[in-house]
């Protein structure tokens, strides 16, 4: 079987509103795939279509090569980790996790084993008799995860599961989730609006905007070689430069200051600028500069040298250089 | 805003007075039910005689039995119908939702007198003899609405993603209902049932229209006794009825207070 | 049919309410168009086209506008209005006090005590007042015992007794919606008001009262509407002196022997009630208030 999930020209309409616009994606087995985009871009709707809670207005979904049209959520080999976890408040942790085992004809004696395995996987052993309202946010998140994983789905869908956690916990869970996925080898489809999160965990990312997929590629490719202006902007400030024929993007950290222009025929290009603003951020310093044509660009430099007040400051004239390999042409002709 | 300010003292005094106003008549009723004197107000001594008389009054017992029967039958039917209606209305694609919701409010807002007349006329036009069954049917009519209103309120706070989670984990719609929805709305359903039982047992106006000569219920008996001035026994039976309904209502209150399922 | 499950759930209710509510009401309308026979039932009409042509079918409605009946309607109306105003004045401070109670336990207790009368027998609660207001009732006995009066006060079968009974019976119906509305009041708004210089009275007038308006209106509706249809209070405490619309209707169906007239009055009452509720719903929606019923 070549792909775990195949989304073929799927569109979803709610009345007049087109939430998902002709999306085609393939997700390979064992892949950590993220749907990344701002709120309202259609990523959650797409996920719910995969889970079976929405029917596509057109197009089809195949999971494991099998057409999913007309297949209800309870018959699909996928499981969903809900954004607010949706733990059953009247059941203990153990009973929550055991909920779906009944439908898999797992013998009663084996259920206990599967439950403890699941609890161990998410490091919650010992909490099996607690009720959800006795757990912290992070613990609830893990129970939701265990409840889905215990059923050994082909594909695990996750709807912004880390959204409600605080920064530190989020970062820990990101690493844990990634390791868990690698260890289990299950295909993960992960929805998030946080680009850093997507980059940290994913093998491949699909960036969505207004119901369409702007670009679907490996994480590094999305970051280094954004195909459209939206993708570039969504993954960190993008500087859009033009030469006579094309528009291209250079990431802020790929720009550096030199006093003079780059020589022709070399590996770098340059532009003269005036420094407008400088913000010290500890690890980096971020500069806003203005070109002769009035355009504003962002430069980001890691502070590898100790702070030197005599270095580039507001009002100075400099040249910004970039290696031509770091100039990414835009494939769209939108301005 | 709180504390021992002038307003606060007045507020407390007023509240105390109002609660006294609400409860003193009831307490007097209860107290006088133990009064030895048959001429109500003057206290002549403590006695259980009037209660004893109740239990040897066969008409009274028959009336009580009828009331309990009607209440039980009406409660069971109304709870099933009303809960189904509430759940039906909670579904996004349910047919004629607004009309049904309006229909359910009708028995509650229409004055009892009108309901009583309408049902009486209905039974007489259809030549349906007034009996304990006509009373039961009448009680079901208004009880369904009460149940639907109470259960709807509980369902409104119900987290839909729980149902989806159940289906995602493999439960079909019926399984999701039995294992997730029902256990979580059950306190509300039981509370509604208790309240409706109370309303049925206490009902006077509508019952007075649709009860036949041999289907006197407890409230009808009490009313006739009140009007003919047989006070002490009436106080005793009223006290018992009040006690029963208060217990049921307090239980229902507790059930309704316990954590609804919040989103 | 798109939602079969929804249909299955709602159909039984349609049947029951259709058959036991709508149908009887329709029949009642029919009865109101007939003339009474000797027993008081609707006399069958032999020639409908003649009957309709003659205009006799409006007979009962015309009769209901007779001064005797109008007087009863006006009395019911003004009693209901007075009851509503009294309940509001008496009930508001109580609801306020409960809503502002800080201890959750005490609040629940106070609320429970206010709710219980709401659900217990109206009949019994009103009949308790007979014990108090009768010639040999508790009140008279006490006053005579204390030497304040020589002979018993005639309190029963008076409009005063009906008034007391109405307020007593309906008070919980006012307190609960008021409480619900006041409970939602954001305490920090009161603090902000004080911080900006408003005294307690000012804060109440300019912040609390306007914000509790939905509750006030809901409470008034919940007291007024059952109030005009009252039957028990005037039956037990008012005697023949204070007949209200409810008693009038009941009378026609029993000793008065004029069911068609009773039906007409009953339907007029219903129409009035429904009209008021619709007006309430429209006004509430237009002002963006929550319809707190």
> Domain B57-257 - what CATH class?
mainly alpha
Residue in B with minimal Cα distance to C238: B227
Residue B117 corresponds to which tokens in the numbers above? 């007349």
More confident residue, A81 or B153: A81
Among the partner-chain residues B161, B172, B183, the one whose CB lies closest to the CB of A86 is: B161
Residues 6 or more apart whose Cβ sits within 8 Å of residue C68: none
**Confidence band, pLDDT 50/70/90 cuts, at residue B40:** low
A14 touches chain B (CB under 8 A): no
Residue C17, pLDDT score: 94
Residue A254 corresponds to which tokens in the numbers above? 């790929």
Neighbours of C251 (CB within 10 A): 17
| Sign (positive or negative) of CA dihedral C13, C19, C20, C25 | positive
More confident residue, C83 or A307: C83
Among the partner-chain residues B165, B170, B259, the one whose CB lies closest to the CB of A86 is: B165
Residue B263, pLDDT score: 35
Average pLDDT over residues C19-35: 92
Average pLDDT over residues C132-143: 84
Touch test C–A: 3 Cβ pairs or more under 8 Å: no
Average pLDDT over residues C129-146: 85
Q: What span, in angstroms and rounded, lies between the C-alpha atoms of A32 and A155?
A: 10
Most confident of A2-16, A256-270, A293-307, B131-145: B131-145
B-chain residues near C103 (CB < 8 A): none
Residue B1, pLDDT score: 45
Residue B95 corresponds to which tokens in the numbers above? 């047919």
Percent of chain C beyond pLDDT 70? 97
Among the partner-chain residues A82, A102, A151, the one whose CB lies closest to the CB of B161 is: A82
CB atoms B204 and C25 under 8 Å: no
B174 touches chain C (CB under 8 A): no
Greatest pairwise CA separation for chain A in angstroms: 76
- Is the pLDDT at A31 greater than 90? The verdict is yes
What are all long-range contacts of C70-75, with beta carbons under 8 Å and residues at least 24 apart? C72/C243, C72/C244, C72/C245, C72/C248, C73/C245, C75/C242, C75/C243, C75/C244
Give CATH 2.40.50.140 domain extents, chain A.
237-329
Determine the straight-line distance between the first and last CA of chain B, rounded to whole angstroms.
32
Neighbours of C6 (CB within 10 A): 22
Instruction: Enumerate the domain spans of chain B.
Output: 57-257
More confident residue, C58 or A149: A149
A-chain residues near B92 (CB < 8 A): none
Give CATH 3.40.50.300 domain extents, chain A.
5-227
CB atoms C250 and B113 under 8 Å: yes
Residue in C with minimal Cα distance to B16: C94
State the ipTM, two decimals: 0.86
Residue C205, pLDDT score: 87
Average pLDDT over residues C152-169: 88
Q: What span, in angstroms and rounded, lies between the C-alpha atoms of C134 and B229?
A: 11
Residues 6 or more apart whose Cβ sits within 8 Å of residue C205: none
Q: What span, in angstroms and rounded, lies between the C-alpha atoms of A165 and A145?
A: 14
For chain A, where are the E strands, in sequence order? 5-14, 17-27, 32-36, 58-63, 66-67, 78-81, 155-159, 187-192, 204-209, 212-218, 239-242, 247-250, 256-258, 268-280, 284-291, 296-302, 317-323, 328-329
The backbone torsions φ and ψ at residue C120, rounded to the nearest 5 degrees and listed phi first, read: -90, 170
- Is the pLDDT at A244 greater than 80? The verdict is no
- In this structure, CATH architecture of domain A5-227: 3-Layer(aba) Sandwich (3.40)
Give the residue numbers in B contacting A (CB under 8 Å), as ranges: 159, 161-162, 164-172, 175, 179-180, 183-184, 259, 261, 263
CB atoms C116 and B88 under 8 Å: no
CB atoms B40 and C226 under 8 Å: no
The backbone torsions φ and ψ at residue C105, rounded to the nearest 5 degrees and listed phi first, read: -65, -45
**Confidence band, pLDDT 50/70/90 cuts, at residue B54:** confident
Residue B179, min C-alpha distance to chain C (Å): 18
Average pLDDT over residues B141-153: 93
Residue A309, pLDDT score: 62
**Confidence band, pLDDT 50/70/90 cuts, at residue C270:** very high
Q: What span, in angstroms and rounded, lies between the C-alpha atoms of A247 and C148?
A: 103
Average pLDDT, chain B: 88
Residue B107, min C-alpha distance to chain C (Å): 8
Nearest one of A21, A75, A69, A25 to A45, comparing CA atoms: A21
Among the partner-chain residues B41, B125, B195, the one whose CB lies closest to the CB of C138 is: B41
Q: What span, in angstroms and rounded, lies between the C-alpha atoms of A238 and A232?
A: 5
Most confident of A31-35, A303-307, C74-78, C207-211: A31-35
Q: What span, in angstroms and rounded, lies between the C-alpha atoms of A74 and B177?
A: 14
CB atoms B161 and A53 under 8 Å: no
Domains in chain C (CATH in brackets) are 64-286 (1.10.3720.10)
Greatest pairwise CA separation for chain C in angstroms: 78
Residue B230, pLDDT score: 65
- In this structure, CATH architecture of domain A237-329: Beta Barrel (2.40)
Please report, for residues B103, B142, B150, C274, the alpha-carbon distance to residue C14 in angstroms, rounded to integers and kept in the order given. 8, 13, 18, 20
């Amino acid at each position: 079987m070549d792909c775990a999930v195949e989304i073929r020209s799927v569109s979803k309409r709610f009345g007049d509103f087109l939430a998902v616009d002709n999306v085609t994606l393939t997700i390979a087995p064992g892949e950590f795939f993220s749907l990344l985009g701002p709120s309202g871009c259609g990523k959650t709707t797409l996920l719910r279509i995969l889970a079976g809670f929405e029917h596509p207005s057109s197009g089809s979904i195949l999971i494991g090569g099998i057409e999913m049209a007309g297949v209800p959520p309870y018959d699909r080999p996928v499981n969903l980790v809900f954004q607010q976890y949706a733990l059953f408040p009247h059941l203990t942790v153990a009973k929550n996790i055991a909920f779906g085992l009944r439908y898999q004809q797992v013998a009663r004696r084996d259920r206990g084993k599967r439950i403890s395995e699941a609890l161990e996987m998410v490091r919650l052993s010992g909490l099996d008799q607690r009720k959800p309202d006795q757990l912290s946010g992070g613990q609830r998140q893990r129970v939701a995860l265990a409840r889905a994983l215990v059923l050994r789905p082909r594909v695990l869908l996750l709807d912004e599961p880390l959204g409600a956690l605080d920064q530190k916990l989020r970062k820990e869970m990101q690493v844990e989730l990634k390791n868990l996925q690698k260890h289990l080898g299950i295909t993960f489809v992960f929805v998030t609006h946080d680009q850093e999160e997507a980059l940290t965990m994913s093998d491949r990312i699909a960036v969505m905007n207004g119901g369409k997929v702007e670009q679907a590629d490996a994480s590094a490719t999305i970051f280094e070689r954004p195909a459209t202006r939206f993708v570039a902007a969504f993954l960190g400030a993008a500087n859009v430069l033009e030469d006579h024929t094309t528009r291209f993007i250079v990431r802020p950290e790929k720009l550096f200051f030199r006093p003079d222009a780059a020589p022709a025929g070399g590996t770098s290009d340059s532009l003269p600028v005036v420094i407008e603003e400088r913000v010290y951020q500890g690890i980096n310093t971020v500069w806003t500069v203005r070109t002769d044509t009035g355009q504003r660009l962002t430069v980001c430099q890691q502070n590898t040298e100790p702070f030197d007040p005599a270095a580039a400051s507001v009002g100075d004239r400099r040249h910004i250089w970039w290696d031509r390999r770091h100039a990414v042409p835009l494939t769209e002709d939108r301005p | 805003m709180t504390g021992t300010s002038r307003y606060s003292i007045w507020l407390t005094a007023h509240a105390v007075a109002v609660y006294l106003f609400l409860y003193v008549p009831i307490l007097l009723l209860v107290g006088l039910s133990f009064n030895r004197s048959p001429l109500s107000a003057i206290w002549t001594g403590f006695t259980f005689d009037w209660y004893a008389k109740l239990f040897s009054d066969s008409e009274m017992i028959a009336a009580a039995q009828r009331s309990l029967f009607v209440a039980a039958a009406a409660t069971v039917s109304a709870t099933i119908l009303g809960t189904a209606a509430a759940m039906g209305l909670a579904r996004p694609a349910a047919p004629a939702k607004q009309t049904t919701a309006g229909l359910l409010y009708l028995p509650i807002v229409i004055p009892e007198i009108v309901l009583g007349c309408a049902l009486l006329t209905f039974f007489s036009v259809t030549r349906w003899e007034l009996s304990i069954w006509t009373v039961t049917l009448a009680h079901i009519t208004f009880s369904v609405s009460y149940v639907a209103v109470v259960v709807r309120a509980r369902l409104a706070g119900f987290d839909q993603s729980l149902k989806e989670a159940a289906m995602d984990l493999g439960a079909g719609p019926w399984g999701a209902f039995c294992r997730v929805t029902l256990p979580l709305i059950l306190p509300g359903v039981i509370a509604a049932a208790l309240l409706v039982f109370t309303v049925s047992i206490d009902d006077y106006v509508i019952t007075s229209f649709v009860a036949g000569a041999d289907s006197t219920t407890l409230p009808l008996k009490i009313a006739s006794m009140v009007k003919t001035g047989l006070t002490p026994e009436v106080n005793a039976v009223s006290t018992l009825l009040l006690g029963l309904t208060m217990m049921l209502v307090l239980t229902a209150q507790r059930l309704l207070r316990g954590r609804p399922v919040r989103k | 049919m798109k939602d079969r499950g929804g249909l299955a759930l709602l159909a039984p209710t349609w049947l029951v309410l259709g058959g036991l509510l709508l149908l009887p009401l329709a029949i009642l309308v029919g009865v109101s168009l007939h003339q009474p026979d000797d027993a008081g039932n609707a006399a069958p009409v032999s020639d409908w086209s003649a009957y309709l042509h003659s205009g006799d079918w409006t007979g009962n409605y015309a009769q209901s506008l007779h001064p005797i009946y109008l007087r009863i309607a006006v009395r019911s109306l003004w009693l209901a209005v007075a009851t509503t105003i009294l309940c509001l004045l008496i009930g508001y401070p109580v609801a306020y006090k409960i809503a502002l109670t800080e201890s959750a336990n005490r609040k629940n207790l106070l609320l429970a005590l206010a709710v219980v009368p709401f659900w217990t027998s109206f009949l019994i609660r009103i009949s308790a007042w007979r014990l108090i207001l009768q010639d040999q009732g508790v009140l008279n006995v006490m006053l005579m015992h204390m030497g304040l009066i020589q002979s018993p006060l005639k309190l029963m079968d008076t409009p005063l007794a009906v008034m007391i009974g109405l307020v007593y019976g309906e008070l919980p119906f006012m307190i609960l919606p008021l409480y619900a509305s006041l409970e939602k009041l954001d305490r920090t708004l009161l603090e902000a008001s004080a911080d900006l210089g408003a005294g307690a009275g000012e804060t109440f007038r300019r912040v609390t009262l306007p914000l509790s308006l939905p509750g006030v209106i809901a409470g008034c509706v919940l007291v007024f509407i059952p109030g005009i249809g009252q039957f028990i209070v005037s039956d037990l405490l008012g005697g023949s002196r204070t007949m209200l619309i409810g008693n009038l209707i009941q009378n026609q169906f029993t000793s008065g022997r004029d069911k068609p007239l009773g039906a007409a009055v009953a339907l007029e009452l219903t129409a009035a009630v429904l009209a008021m509720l619709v007006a309430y719903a429209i006004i509430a929606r237009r002002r963006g208030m929550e319809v707190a019923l």
